[in-house]
Amino acid sequence: MTDELLTRRDGVAGYLTLNRPKAIHALTQDMCTAMIDALLAWRDDAEVKVVILEHSEGRGFCSGGDINLLRQSALNDGGASGRAFFFDEYRLNHLLFTYEKPVVAFMDGITMGGGVGISQPAKYRVATENTRFAMPETGIGLFPDVGGGWYLSRLDGRLGQYLALTGARLDGAECAWAGLATHYMPASALPEAKQRIAAGDEIGDVLNSLAITPPEPKTAAAAAQIRKHFASDELEDIFASLMSDDSEWAAKKVATLRAKSPQACKVALRQLAESAKLTDFADNMAMEYRLGARVLTRPDFAEGVRAVIVDKDHAPKWNPATPEGVTPDQLDAIFAPLPATEEWRPL
């Protein structure tokens, strides 16, 4: 085990506690494999009835994956260590999705990228007033992976396409409205919820008894605009639709999209369209692994991380620079199967 993940037993509960507070609990490969090991051990332990997924101190549940590792991999080893990280992280995502025992994810605070990947498979997903949910990958030349294609493509009203392209943040009330959270409760109620679940109380009863009516979801006011302007799976159509709208909201979305990687946005739109057709989560993860293996070593990822995380000048030079520059042939190459020996497979 690693100090970055704390595991313990309390009553009928097995606890997985993310423990990298200085990195807002961003996932490392060791954390992913430690979670896999614990889940496999608890799967066959009759005394463990439920898994509680939480974070230790700090302002976030999980801010994502280890982006610096991925960038160094792209720059120094041809993406090999990055692919190894994706391979294990996606196995964890799939294990959580198919886990026979209930998982309760407490999404208290920042829940982004890899944090979405480990919380969305949970049967119970608890949001609070502190929750900030986002899939911001297109801003660094990536795409909403870790199962993002599966979850986002299944949201109503093209909300998933909007979140994938813009990286927009949802608060806890908006997560409950969108169906990304099953319960909304004040953060002050979380210790009681965990204690009662560990004591063996029925999980749904505990969460229902402590849940409160969330505030009005702000994004709901833009639902009609999102449904209209993000209706197409073609990025150029979305730009054209937004630019035909003279509202301040539409202008802000155009500016947001222009800051994102055109390649990443086109990959995300096709990813969600393909994910929506799939019936097996493993097939989704195999597709996302192909995308990750390809996109990791293309220019936009290293450049996006440089601009947003390393130099923080927020002035990435995307290649291609425009949506029109991203050709169907380029997308086909990114989505193509890997050699049989390199494909992702579940545990």
Active-site residue (options: 4, 88, 108, 137): 137
Given 14, 60, 114, 160, the catalytic residue? 114
236-266 in b/e burial notation, b at 16+ Cβ within 10 A? eebbebbeeeeeeebeebeebbebbbbbbbb
To the nearest whole percent, how much of the chain has pLDDT over 90?
A: 96
Domains located in the chain, CATH noted:
5-342 (3.90.226.10)
Helices (H) and strands (E) counted in the chain, each on its own, are 16, 10
Q: Which long-range contacts (CB under 8 A, 24 or more apart) does 54-57 make?
A: 54/15, 54/16, 54/17, 54/18, 54/105, 54/106, 54/108, 54/194, 55/17, 55/18, 55/19, 55/21, 55/25, 55/106, 55/108, 55/109, 56/6, 56/17, 56/18, 56/19, 56/21, 56/25, 57/21
Q: Compute the average pLDDT of residues 56-63.
A: 91
Window from 66-70, 194-198, 342-346 with minimum mean pLDDT: 66-70
173 in Cβ contact with 132 (< 8 Å): no
The verdict on whether 304 is a catalytic residue reads no
Mean pLDDT of 192-201: 98
CA distance 195 to 12: 10
- Whether pLDDT at 103 is above 90: yes
Mean pLDDT of 187-212: 98
Q: Which tens digits make up the pLDDT trace of 271-284?
A: 999 999 999 999 99
Q: Which residue has the tokens 């369209």?
A: 273
Given this model, what pLDDT does residue 59 score? 82
Q: What is the mean pLDDT of residues 19-31?
A: 96
Catalytic residue among 65, 115, 160, 292: 65
pLDDT value, residue 101: 98
Closest C-alpha to 237, from 220, 209, 218, 257? 257
So what's the pLDDT on residue 58?
79
- Is the confidence at residue 68, as pLDDT, over 90? no
Active-site residue, 137 included: yes
d(CA 249, CA 141): 24
Asked if residues 275 and 284 have their Cβ atoms less than 8 Å apart, the reply is yes
pLDDT of res. 29: 96
pLDDT score of 125: 98
Query: 66, 88, 145, 171: which is the annotated catalytic residue?
Result: 145
13 φ/ψ angles, rounded to the nearest 5 degrees: -105, 140
Q: What is the chain's mean pLDDT, rounded?
A: 97
Q: Is the pLDDT of residue 1 over 90?
A: no
In this prediction, residue 113 has a pLDDT band, given cuts at 50, 70 and 90, of very high
Q: What is the mean pLDDT of residues 106-128?
A: 98
Cα angle 66, 71, 75; round to 5: 150
179 is catalytic: no
Checking if the pLDDT of 2 tops 80, the result is: no
Q: Is 65 a catalytic residue?
A: yes
The CA distances from residue 260 to 76, 93, 110, 219, in Å, are: 24, 26, 21, 21
Amino acid 167: pLDDT: 98
Task: Please give the pLDDT value at position 69.
Answer: 87
Residue 223: predicted pLDDT: 98
